[in-house]
């Protein structure tokens, strides 16, 4: 298993991706040390899809469900408990 402790995962059904006017399912990978988005993947994924990167650490996986996820709205976040993007209740 190639667990990368620096990566945090955020997934949901309503992600507003850059260049899109309609939210859609997506998964965002974020560096915990820099707070920067390292990858955006279309589709709402399960933690099992990233077992080689996420391991069994529930604290690194956030599923916002049907809330709105706006990656990149907040450019830089140093708090490990904060999201590097905005989550808006639906």
Q: Is residue 36 part of a domain?
A: yes
Give the number of domains in the chain: 1
Contact 31, 7 (CB under 8 A): yes
Q: Is residue 1 part of a domain?
A: no
- Look up the CATH number of the domain holding residue 24: 2.30.40
Q: Is residue 42 part of a domain?
A: yes
Predicted pLDDT at 1: 37
Q: Is residue 30 part of a domain?
A: yes
Q: Summarize pLDDT for 48-83 with one digit per residue, the tens.
A: 777 766 556 667 888 889 998 888 765 444 445 555
Q: Is residue 2 part of a domain?
A: no
Predicted pLDDT at 77: 45
Q: Over the chain, what is the mean pLDDT?
A: 76
In angstroms, rounded to a whole number, what is the distance separating the alpha carbons of residues 85 and 77?
9
C-alpha atoms less than 13 angstroms from C-alpha of 42 in its C-beta half-sphere:
5
User: By residue range, what is the domain housing residue 18?
Assistant: 7-88
Q: Is residue 64 part of a domain?
A: yes
**Residue 87, Cβ density class (10 Å: 0-12 exposed, 13-18 middle, ≥19 buried):** middle
């Amino acid at each position: 298993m190639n667990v990368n402790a620096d990566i945090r995962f955020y997934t949901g059904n309503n992600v507003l991706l850059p260049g899109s006017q309609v939210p859609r399912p997506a998964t965002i990978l974020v560096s915990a040390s820099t707070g920067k988005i390292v990858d955006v993947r279309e589709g709402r994924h399960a933690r099992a899809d990233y077992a080689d990167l996420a391991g069994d650490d529930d604290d690194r996986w956030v599923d916002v469900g049907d809330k709105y996820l706006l990656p990149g709205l907040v450019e830089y976040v140093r708090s490990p408990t904060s999201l590097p993007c905005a989550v808006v209740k639906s």
